[in-house]
Structure 1
Amino acid sequence: MPPAPGDREARRKDVSEAVWRVLADKGFGGLTLRAVATAMGVSTGMLMHYFPTKRALVTHALDLLEKDTAQRPRRAHPEPGLATVRAMLLDILPLTPDDTARNRIWVSSWDLSLADDALAAEQAGRYARLRSTMRPHLEAARDAGELPATADPEQLAATAVAFTHGLVVQALFDPDRFPLDVQTAMVDSFLASLARRQDPSDD
């Protein structure tokens, strides 16, 4: 018998907390209806009143992860321009235990997203939104002379996101090689390289 609407809402927080515990412990590879039911101390049949399929469970887990990412503590944005781009890139990296755990969960979700067109489209949308939030600051950096006048903010936003997520993966797999200070120095070097780029016609 399905739960009453009031009971469903009352249990939603319990379900979400159980999903998050499973993700933190096992990643998306270990996210199953049975694992979440065990974490809640309920039967798989009861959980299926909330999530009739694993895909529904995965979609909910991705929503939880996106909300957690959006609500995480962030560095102050000093002013429009490269200083704010730097803060945005550092916020992405696994520089704290919480950020490391969050990034591990995101990376573990990629395999599922690549195998599902709808999930892949949602993931592409997340990257598009990230690039769109960064682009105005790159435009401001160009207008302020921090970047060459010929800089393409849209392309630079894509490059910056690609660089940072590549660094995320390397830091997760080899944390001894990429500790906090190395990651930070690499971001600074990357941004300095953008500022040094010149139009070939200027040479």
Structure 2
Amino acid sequence: MPPPAPGDREARRKDVSEAVWAVLADKGFGGLTLRAVAGAMNGSTGMLMHYFPTKRALIAHALDLLEVRTAARPRRARPAEGLPSVRATLLDILPLTPDDTACNRIWVSSWDLALADEGLAGEQAGRYARLRGMVRPHLEAASRLHQLGDANAEAEQLAAVAVAFAHGLVVQALFDPDRFPADVQTAMLDDFLASLGRSPLTPPDARTPD
């Protein structure tokens, strides 16, 4: 089969991405194959080979698509500087609604594939770095506003702790939704943020000297 003409290729790109997303939403990364995507498009695997010559290319595209879809979801307004904005940012990560739960399930299903491929793992590490970068400015503001219990805590480290907390809660909520419904997740997040304000996160000997 000859490759599609440039105009046709661009016209089909959206259809291909929609089909990839449909497979991800239904089966996760474990069910993401050229055959499954072709079936979602009522097309052929030969046609898809013009877009994804390898399974890795398909997975890389799916991860990029997932990141774009995640970023495009409605976000909560940032109510005030500092910890209130940290709260809103982390609430956007948690599986508090059916749509958020579905998106998080897809992300978690991608981890095995990313861990098995050095290049994909590096790209995933970059995504986490960008996520920490979203949280860090709000923690810097919290420090300026004296909302943190540890005046010596670095915003970069706190951002890593906050993202680790949120993603740990995501995993527990996905595997045990009855134990971690939306109200429990929110209460746990509020307790975590309160702990940032009332107690140091680092032992005295690990703090940056004045």
Q: TM-score, normalised by structure 2?
A: 0.93
Match of 2:85 in 1: 84
Q: Which stretch of the first structure deviates more once superposed, 146-155 or 77-86? A: 146-155
CA distance in 2, matches of 1:145, 1:83: 13
2:170 matched residue in structure 1 = 168
In structure 1, distance between residues paired with 2:155 and 2:14? 41
> SS at 1:92's partner residue?
coil
Structure 1 unaligned blocks of 5 or more: none
CA distance in 2, matches of 1:200, 1:183: 27
Give 1:139 deviation, angstroms: 1.3
1:1-203 alignment runs, 5 A limit = 1-148=2-149, 149-198=151-200
Q: Deviations over 1:12-38 (max 9, x none)?
A: 111111100000000000000010011
Deviation string 1:103-158 (CA, Å, 9 cap, x unpaired) is: 00000001000000111011111111111121111111111111032222111110
Q: Which amino acid aligns with 1:178?
A: F
- The 3-state SS of whatever aligns with 1:169 is helix
Report the alpha carbon displacement of residue 79 of structure 1 after superposing the two structures with TM: 2.1
Provide the C-alpha distance between the structure 2 equivalents of 1:140 and 1:33, rounded to a whole number of angstroms.
46
CA RMSD of superposed structures (Å): 1.1
Match of 2:208 in 1: none
Structure 2: gaps of 5 or more residues: 205-210
Instruction: Tell me how far apart the structure 2 counterparts of residues 120 and 188 of structure 1 sit (CA, whole Å).
Output: 31
Aligned partner of 2:23: which letter? V
- Structure 1: 4+ residue segments shifted above 3 A: 198-201
Structure 2 Cα separation of the partners of residues 157 and 46 of structure 1: 43
Distance across 1 between alignment mates of 2:52 and 2:131: 29
Q: CA deviation at 1:200?
A: 6.3
Q: Distance in 2 between matches of 1:14 and 1:133?
A: 31
CA shift at 1:167, angstroms? 0.3
CA distance in 2 between counterparts of 1:177 and 1:139 reads 33
CA distance, structure 1, for counterparts of residue 115 and residue 130 of structure 2: 19
CA distances 1:8-63 after superposition (whole Å, capped 9, x unpaired): 11111111111000000000000000100111111111111111111111111111
Amino acid at match of 1:172: L
Alpha-carbon distance in structure 2 between the residues aligned to 1:39 and 1:129: 32
The alignment partner of 1:16 has SS state of: helix
Q: Are residues 200 and 2 of structure 1, via their aligned partners in 2, closer, same or farther at CA, if it must alter by over 3 Å?
A: closer
Aligned length: 201
- 2:40 and 2:203 map into 1 onto residues whose CA distance is 59
Residue-by-residue CA offset, 1:70-95 (whole Å, 9 max, x unaligned): 11001000122000000000000000
